A and B are shown apart, each in its own frame.
Chain A
Amino acid sequence: MNKPIASGRKVGGLRPLALQGPAVTLLFLWMIVPLSMTVWFSLQRYNLLMPGMDEFDGLTNYRYLFTDPALWSSMITTLLLVGWVLVITVVGGTLLAVLFQQEFFGRGIARVLVISPFFVMPTASALVWKNLMMHPSNGVLAWLAGVFGMEPINWFSSLPLTSIVIIVAWQWLPFALLILLTAMQSLDEDQVEAARMDGAGPIAVFFFITLPHLKRAISVVIMIEMIFLLTVFAEIFVTTSGGPGLATTNLAYLIYIRALLDYDVGLASAGGVVAIVLANIVAIFLVRMVAKNLED
């Protein structure tokens, strides 16, 4: 079924080379040049505030980085942020996919509304949440708290990381829903019907038919979200600037601070290498999974 066109094969190996050449070359440069520069810088003493002092420095940057409490605190922040957003979006996305798969009045419009947050630029959604929603005295949430006779929460000073988690989860829940809803469409209705006939309730159907069917789509969602969530930046940049203290400084933001605020190129690059290694641990699994899918 997938056999190449007969006359295409005759032309041989040169044509693919010419056709794919530009894309492959550009991507190769885009990857290898900055990557090797990052690795190289990470082995240098290189601070933009001290020109002429650059020299090869071995693993000093790494030694400094790994003894810096800020690194460990930023790693924990990164893990908490990624972990919580994943839990909220995957569990929420699965439940919502089941809900929005049902027939109801105006389903098309309701679906469009639900996936909309994914298309809002991160700087806009973060600022709308920070001001219009979460502002401790004028925000909608403060007003709601007042209606119910509760103390309004000062979101960004008392629950900074939770606030960021809420904003990021709000952006990514629609992504999980969109993917899982698509995956739901290939669910075998006859199988569900047969299970119902056999007396399975909705909860049994969900756990024994729907969830196993969504297994692969869920792992794809988890891996793709992880790759993006590991480097959440804009939402932190416009709301907390990593604070209070280091409360919302994740690895991406720490590298930004070291590089563009402290001008310590060497140290920032060492942090960059750590980020690359972390991302690649996830990436290996994703690439494997996609590769398996290419077979069929």
Chain B
Amino acid sequence: MTNSTLRRFGIGLLAWAVAFVIFFPIFWMMLTGFKTEADAIADPSLIFPPTLDSYAEVQQRADYFKFALNSVIVSFGSTILALLIAIPSAYSMAFLPTKRTKGTLLWMLSTKMLPPVGVLVPIYLLFRDTGLLDTRTGLTIVYTLMNLPIVVWMLYTFFKDLPKDILEAGRMDGANTLQEVWHLLLPLTLPGIASTGLLSVILSWNEAFWSLNLTSSQAAPLTAYIASFSSPEGLFWAKLSAASTMAIAPILVFGWLTQKQMVRGLTFGAVK
């Protein structure tokens, strides 16, 4: 072996070791989901009779799908709402910029800096008084507004990357704004819109401050359901693992698919 292939081998070995250690808790969780409760708390072992009991029990006893449905409705609902509100706004910022556009964008970013805990009390009281506490509607509203700045920003950066001539050509052919947006802008920027939407779904799906404080039995999404395993009444590790595996699996896949575009959204375009 030459020196450089040896070096590459060493680097590969080190990188894979790091990857293994960092991923291990997730791997172990996935594995534990297929154990019996007795095996789950026994000495760590890779060899055990696999069982689906925990998955079945999570569904039967706790009605897992009710929480999953809440998660799906709230995260996709808030994402669709945010996209509907953000697309016109990002369109106008990217294609009809005025001297106020930059200020507006920065102001939107600054609303994201308001720590949720700083406004917990008024939101809680407002929700209590308007009957929004523990409703999917209430949580959807919060998530929509929480993600709106990121969605506008991300769409803005994708729209801005579109060559201006294309929309101009459409206009020459007599397309009005709506046609221009519907037939040109949206199809051309669909990958960008999709990854924006996925990021918004991921952020809402994993959000755990508002979901823990604003929901209880009716509208609780998966983050709150998983939190219920923190009660010290007993060790239900296999069930915790099965429930967590189901709760994170779709989001892991979304995350893997959009990791590259996500950097833009998470850094507000400051790192591309």
Contact = CB atoms under 8 A, between A and B. Distances in A.
Given A119-B254, A283-B110, A124 B18 contact: no
A278 B118 CA distance: 10
A151 to B, nearest CB: 17
16 contacts: A19-B89, A24-B89, A106-B12, A110-B19, A119-B254, A127-B227, A132-B237, A220-B271, A224-B266, A234-B227, A238-B227, A251-B117, A260-B120, A279-B114, A279-B118, A290-B270
Q: What does DSSP make chain A's interface, helix, strand, loop or mixed? A: helix
B267 A224 contact: yes
Contacts of B152: 23
Contacts of B29: 124, 128, 132
A124 B12 contact: no
In the A-B complex, list the 6 residue pairs whose CB atoms are closest, starting with the nearest.
A104-B12, A37-B122, A283-B113, A234-B208, A34-B119, A119-B255
Nearest to B165: A5
B25 A8 contact: no
A26 interface: yes
Nearest to A279: B115
Task: Sort chain B's interface into a size bin.
Answer: 35 or more
A287 B106 contact: yes
Contact of A2 (B97, B117, B125): B97
A286 B229 contact: no
Contact of B117 (A7, A129, A252): A252
Interface in A99-134: 99-100, 102-107, 110-125, 127-133
A273 B118 contact: yes
Interface in A247-296: 251-252, 255-256, 259-260, 265, 268-269, 272-273, 275-276, 278-280, 282-283, 286-287, 289-291, 293-294
Given A19-B89, A233-B209, A124 B248 contact: yes
A22 B227 contact: no
Interface stretch (A64-72, A157-165, A176-184): A176-184
B120 A138 contact: no
B115 A19 contact: no
A268 B121 contact: yes
Interface in A225-240: 227, 230-231, 233-234, 237-239
A290 B22 contact: no
B214 to A, nearest CB: 10
B241 A255 contact: no
Interface string A12-35: 010110011011101100110111
Given A23-B148, A175-B266, A231-B209, A113 B110 contact: no
Interface stretch (B47-55, B58-66, B187-195, B256-264): B256-264
Interface residues of A, number: 108
Contacts of B270: 216-217, 220, 289-290, 293
Contact of A99 (B8, B11, B23): B11
Interface of A: 2-9, 11, 13, 15-16, 19-20, 22-24, 26-27, 30-31, 33-35, 37-38, 41, 96, 99-100, 102-107, 110-125, 127-133, 138, 140, 143, 170, 173-175, 178-179, 182-183, 186, 216-217, 220, 224, 227, 230-231, 233-234, 237-239, 251-252, 255-256, 259-260, 265, 268-269, 272-273, 275-276, 278-280, 282-283, 286-287, 289-291, 293-294
B78 interface: no
B168 interface: yes
A102 B244 CA distance: 33
B117 A272 contact: yes
A290 B102 CA distance: 10
Q: What does DSSP make chain B's interface, helix, strand, loop or mixed? A: helix
Contact of A20 (B28, B104, B230, B235): B104
Interface string B21-65: 011111011001000000001111000000000000000000000
Contact of B14 (A37, A99, A173): A99
A99 B268 CA distance: 26
Contacts of A3: 164
Interface in B95-117: 95-98, 100-102, 104-106, 108-117
Name the residue among B28, B88, B171, B251 with the largest chain A CB count within 10 angstroms.
Answer: B88
Interface string B163-207: 010011001000000000000000000000000000000100110
A133 to B, nearest CB: 6
B138 interface: no
Contact of B28 (A99, A132, A227, A265): A132
B109 to A, nearest CB: 6
Contacts of B106: 287, 290-291, 294
B148 A27 contact: yes
Interface in B222-272: 222-224, 226-227, 229-230, 235, 237, 240-241, 244, 247-248, 251-252, 254-256, 259-260, 262-263, 266-272
B26 A117 contact: yes
B91 A19 contact: yes
Nearest to B98: A16
